[in-house]
Amino acid sequence: MAIERTLSILKPDALEKGAIGKIIARFEAAGLKPVAIRLQHLSQAEAEGFYAVHKERGFFKDLVKFMTSGPVVIQVLEGENAVLKNRDLMGATDPKKATPGTIRADFATSIDANTVHGSDSLENAKNEISYFFRQTELTHYEWKK
Ligand code: CMP
């Protein structure tokens, strides 16, 4: 299986609940390593730019308001099949529909305050990673064959 990178954001509700350690532990336990990690309070322009694909959607304004309501943790995760693995760990976008045991089922309270974001494809992962991180900020691991 291929080693991939994906972008992961722990949203303001994750920090508000004091849950970032517990959430990051799940990624580590699943074999996803952080190759870059940063705490940041997004500006309105940064949040709007990141979620630009959703700008025509009815939920865009609320999404940007929530994502700028407090600091977030932005990280790049690396590992086998990282894009899909991260999405499996997160669970469905709407926590009411998320499988028990997933991050959103266990921590999220609503579709807006849904605790985590993860890239939905390898192509989007590349774009999302470069939106937040320069090449020189990404660590390189030696993966055992
Ligand atoms: P995220 O994975 O960060 O990507 C876009 C976000 O928009 C999503 O998680 C949700 O938090 C939020 N959102 C709010 N309403 C909807 C909706 N109806 N469909 C998809 N995403 C939504």
Q: Return all residues near 117 (Cβ < 8 A) that are at least 6 apart.
A: 7, 8, 9, 11
Q: Return all residues near 36 (Cβ < 8 A) that are at least 6 apart.
A: 75, 76, 133, 137, 138, 139
Mutation test residue for ligand 1: of 93, 131, 132, the one with most atoms within 8 Å of CB? 93
Question: Which tens digit of pLDDT belongs to each residue from 82-116?
Answer: 999 999 999 999 999 999 999 999 999 999 999 99
| pLDDT confidence of residue 83 | 98
- Catalogue the active-site residues: 117
Give the pocket of ligand 1 (CB within 6 Å).
54, 59, 63, 93, 111-112, 114, 117
**What is the average pLDDT across 61-79?**
98
On average, the pLDDT of the chain sits at 97
- Which residue has the least CA distance to atom 18 on ligand 1? 59
- Which residue has the least CA distance to atom 3 on ligand 1? 117
- Which residue has the least CA distance to atom 15 on ligand 1? 59
Is pTM beyond 0.75? Reply is yes
Distance from the alpha carbon of residue 16 to the mean position of ligand 1, in angstroms: 19
